[in-house]
Amino acid sequence: MALGLAFQIHAASAQSVHFDIPAQPLAPALAALASQARLQLAFAGELAQGRSAPTLQGTHDLADALRILLAGSGLQGRVQGRTLVVERVASPGAASTLPVVTVSASAQAEAATGPVTGYVARRSATAGKVDMAIMETPVSIHVVGREQIEAQGAQRIQQALRYVPGMSADIRGDISRFDQMAFRGTGWVLDTFQYLDGLRLPRGSSYLIPQIDPYFLERVEVLKGPASVVFGQAPLGGIVSLVGKRPTQERFHEVNLAVGSHSRVQTGFESGGPLGDDGTLTYRLTALARKADTSVQMTKEERIAIAPSVTWRPDADTALTLLASWQHDPTGGYYGVLPSSGTILPNPYGPIRRDFFDGSPDFNQYDRIQASAGYELSHRFASGWRLQQNMRYWHMEMDQSMAGTLRLQPDHRTLTRFATWSQERMNAVNLDTRIEGESATGPLAHRMVFGLDLQRDRWTQLQAMAGAPSLDLLNPDYTQPIPRPAANNSPDRVQRLAGLYAQDHIRWGAWGLLLGLRADHADISIDNALTRRDTRQNFTKYTGRAGLMHNFSNGVAPYASYSTSFDPAVVVNPYGDPFKPTTGRQYELGIKYQPPGTQQLYTLAAFDLTQRNVLTRDPNSSLPNAMVQTGEVNSRGVEFEAKFNLARGLNLVGGLSVLDPKITRSNGVDLNQRPIAVARTTASLWADYRLPAGVTLGGGVRHVGAAYANAANTQRIPAYTVADAMLRYELIAGTALSLNVSNLFDKTYFTCNAADFCNYGQSRTLLATLNVKW
């Protein structure tokens, strides 16, 4: 049957759009089409009953897309302003008697780099470097959007991930200097791999670690399991992908002021919108200033940061976004540790005070500067293929000195301490170029990506380490002078990394197959003038991924996937040669469920991952710290996450993770034991509800099961459960006052990453924020 289309041609409908809509009932298919075309949808619900829509893949203008979806249905579509109206093909003089229901598609109108409306994200680019529907991605992805970050009052990346299952987000307790987390039972990862806008955040091999403030982010995403096929070198458990705020067509300005516990004062400012009248230029400017004490006496944290960006769209097929940032942290808060005795173990003199400082107020200091400049270039050719290039230059410098805990002496009150200072600098460039396009081979639709990822960084350090005066836990003397030790280490590291990757997302009806392959070559050199030890590492690694998924019309999508990873070692063996990279593989089975037409997403995943080439003690060497690469760690587990909007104004996030991690090969006492700091069970639940009077109430509960602080699994870290709460009141339109409370009942709990390497968890912390937007 021929289809009539009556369009009031609008710029949005005349342009080509990339559609990714599986075969399904007509109603959710139309909702997806309106979402991806950035339109609202209006139609009578009865019109879609009993009708189905075919798969719509590739780049089409709106007229062609509607012809495909509505073929044979007796329906037509027309655009009125920003609304897509679907109705019957009317006979002359006929009038419609069915009520028209307008469905807001704003919640679904989402891009992988744009805002998440509510708590349920539908699209992400983390799994494959291109914008993909999460329901068609056969891997575990968790997205925390701006709205959830603000509702939960997250001040650090790890706080934004507290309600993600399978994450050990508070692995260093109330430490704020770095974001350190662990994934899926693989143990503590000091240098958690983070990516900002698709490019790796470089770091040094010591204390030069970047930190991005959540205020500058639109999304915080977690890709569970091996990610090397997408990003190259990466730890086995997963990576954190950060999506920064970008220019917007909506003109707005925003100012907020916050005060809180520990004399915290901070202010933020945002402004964005079009530059000029034609809409080709848009901008965004975000800035933040913060100053606070910490829960540990004699320590402070400060931050000043700014991030401008501009987007130029000369035509419908081309976009260039310029991005820059500058951040200065004059002080970095507390970064010490406490012994096991007096924290997780009894001490004859009683518990160590929560605010105890194991450093020196005159010696301890930390100063970090990080800055970046780069661009994102996108161009769609007439053939439909698209070129995307991301580039970023990154600069960091850090000066720090610290006295801290080494061990507790047998008298249970005297701390043996060390003193160290370090000056570190880094310059890095990352250029990622890729092309993507669609093609077909018979009944198979392909969406292919080919790319080249180039990275180069140089990190230099001048460092010293020596002993420091001991400190009495009961009567600490902070006036003891600590002489600055002479430098004894000066590494100069240059890394050159090149990755060539290819990906094909194959669709056949409701079936989807995601295939990926990547080859990485690394050339790493470390020269050390003071130790006179130079090392070279040169290797090539191949990683891959295969995932199969089936999307049923009722919103259920089971999947299976296999993926591999590699992570270069940063230490050398007793002969001065670098160790081989650790390697990993993972099998995963899962089910995703998103009821059509709802803002709900349920994910259940079971996985089995194994890491090889793990360092373990060398039984054939007399050297005390000699290591060999014969270790292996296995982790099996099940994760469940639910994110949904039960009713208007009610958001809910819940998660559960049950792990069975084990060290399966080792020459030490940790054989067949659980990795340090890994809890078998974690669970969380958060809900908030907006009342009609402009009041929003929210709260959450987080549970972390017991873990161990030493390799032999004899020092137990107790389980803990903490509660969070929030209250928000809209004073007038655009002005709101909110209060967030973390650890509402001030539960005392600990985190440990080794024996005599423990920290208190976050105490009860209040944050009141006044936000004005116009």
SS (H, E, C) 404-459: EEEEECCCCCEEEEEEEEEEEEEEEEEEEEEEEEEEEECCEEEEEEEEEEEEEEEE
What residue type is assigned to position 573 of the chain?
N
Residue 736 Cα distances to 219, 368, 769, angstroms: 22, 33, 8
What's the pLDDT score for residue 16?
A: 62
**Model confidence over 658-698: pLDDT tens digits?**
999 999 998 889 899 999 999 999 999 999 999 988 899 99
| Contact call for residues 405 and 753 (beta carbons, < 8 A) | no
What's the pLDDT score for residue 43?
A: 76
Greater confidence, 206 or 770? 770
How is residue 70 written in tokens?
A: 């509505």
Q: How far apart are the first and last CA of the chain?
A: 50
Q: From 754, 749, 753, select the one nearest 351 (Cα to Cα).
A: 749
**Model confidence over 400-410: pLDDT tens digits?**
999 999 999 99
Is the pLDDT assigned to residue 93 strictly greater than 50?
no
Tell me the C-alpha distance between 661 and 676, whole Å.
Answer: 10
What's the pLDDT score for residue 457?
A: 95
What is the percent of the chain where pLDDT is above 70?
91
Min mean pLDDT across 15-19, 135-139, 378-382 is at 15-19
State the DSSP H helix or E strand holding residue 380, giving kind and residue range, or none if neither. strand 365-380
| Contact call for residues 491 and 532 (beta carbons, < 8 A) | no
| Contact call for residues 65 and 33 (beta carbons, < 8 A) | yes
Q: With bands split at pLDDT 50, 70 and 90, how would you rate the model's confidence at 576? A: low
CATH 3.55.50.30 spans which residues of the chain? 11-103
| Contact call for residues 234 and 227 (beta carbons, < 8 A) | yes
What's the pLDDT score for residue 188?
A: 54
What's the pLDDT score for residue 40?
A: 74
What residue type is assigned to position 733 of the chain?
A
**Model confidence over 220-268: pLDDT tens digits?**
999 999 999 999 988 888 999 999 999 998 899 999 999 999 999 999 9
Is the pLDDT assigned to residue 213 strictly greater than 90?
yes
Q: From 331, 348, 266, 327, select the one nearest 296 (Cα to Cα).
A: 331
Name 552's Cβ contacts closer than 8 Å, sequence gap at least 6: 510
Q: From 90, 10, 152, select the one nearest 723 (Cα to Cα).
A: 152
- pLDDT, mean of residues 581-601: 93
Assigned architecture for domain 244-518+529-773: Beta Barrel (2.40)
Mean of per-residue pLDDT scores for the chain:
89
Return the half-sphere exposure (C-beta side, CA atoms, 13 A cut-off) of residue 329: 27
Residue 592 Cα distances to 320, 650, 654, 722, angstroms: 35, 21, 15, 29
Min mean pLDDT across 64-73, 265-274, 496-505 is at 64-73
Min mean pLDDT across 166-180, 430-444, 461-475, 704-718 is at 166-180
Greater confidence, 703 or 733? 703
**Model confidence over 343-387: pLDDT tens digits?**
999 999 999 999 999 999 999 999 999 999 999 999 999 888 999
Is the pLDDT assigned to residue 108 strictly greater than 50?
no
Return the number of other C-beta atoms located less than 10 Å from residue 381's C-beta. 11
Q: With bands split at pLDDT 50, 70 and 90, how would you rate the model's confidence at 568? A: confident
- pTM summary value: 0.86
- pLDDT, mean of residues 600-626: 81
- pLDDT, mean of residues 152-173: 92
* Rounded to 5°, angle at Cα 544 from 540 and 549: 170
Q: With bands split at pLDDT 50, 70 and 90, how would you rate the model's confidence at 81? A: low
Q: With bands split at pLDDT 50, 70 and 90, how would you rate the model's confidence at 287? A: very high
Tell me the C-alpha distance between 645 and 653, whole Å.
Answer: 9
What's the pLDDT score for residue 82?
A: 66
**Model confidence over 446-467: pLDDT tens digits?**
999 999 999 999 999 999 999 9
CATH 2.40.170.20 spans which residues of the chain? 244-518+529-773
What is the percent of the chain where pLDDT is above 90?
66
What's the pLDDT score for residue 75?
A: 85
The length of the chain, given as a count of residues: 774
**Model confidence over 20-47: pLDDT tens digits?**
787 777 887 888 888 777 777 877 766 7
Is the pLDDT assigned to residue 190 strictly greater than 60?
no
Greater confidence, 193 or 702? 702
Is the pLDDT assigned to residue 610 strictly greater than 60?
yes
Residue 14 Cα distances to 37, 62, 75, 102, 484, angstroms: 10, 7, 20, 22, 68
How is residue 601 written in tokens?
A: 């997403």
Pairing verdict, β 40-43 and 83-88: parallel
| Contact call for residues 454 and 393 (beta carbons, < 8 A) | no
What's the pLDDT score for residue 2?
A: 35
Is the pLDDT assigned to residue 313 strictly greater than 80?
yes
How is residue 571 written in tokens?
A: 């230490």
* Class level of CATH domain 11-103: alpha beta
